[in-house]
Amino acid sequence: MEDQDKSLTVLLVEDTEDNRFMMRRLLEITGYRVVEAMNGEEAVRLAKAECPHLILMDLSLPVIDGLAATRLIRKIPACERTPIIAVSAHDTSDFQSEAIRAGCNCYITKPINFNELEAMIAQLLI
């Protein structure tokens, strides 16, 4: 799958520039094409335009929060089955349950353990 990864697009939705930069670099080094959104509204627009293979969705976003953006993305026919990983600093079962109900496939907490994230992405893209 390593050769295939080069053509896979990840939509990275993160409002904090430092976090976005770090995650983008790690994803690009792994071989993914990364498209970035800084808020939920941009995320929905880019999901429609790009049809990414996977979405990393921060839950605390300006304009439209990550949960609302996820619900809207799930209504886009081309994105109904796109894996979405919720990313949050909140590590409670309530937040995780809410993210799964909104349409996220998995939940990872900040600070992100990139090995854990890589394994999660690989499992979702099988």
**In the predicted structure, residue 96 carries a pLDDT above the cut 50:** yes
- For residue 95, what is the domain's CATH number? 3.40.50.2300
Encoding tokens for residue 67? Answer: 């949960």
**pLDDT tens, residue by residue, 21-50:** 999 999 999 999 999 999 999 999 999 999
Q: Domains in the chain: how many in total?
A: 1
**What predicted TM-score, i.e. pTM, was given to this entire model?**
0.93
Q: Judge whether 15 and 39 are in contact, CB under 8 Å.
A: yes
Domain that holds residue 94: 2-124
Strand ranges (E), 6-124: 9-13, 33-37, 54-58, 84-88, 106-109
**pLDDT tens, residue by residue, 56-81:** 999 999 999 999 999 999 999 999 99
**Cβ atoms within 10 Å of 13's Cβ, excluding its own:** 29
**In the predicted structure, residue 6 carries a pLDDT above the cut 80:** no
- Measure the CA dihedral 86/91/93/97, to 10°: -10
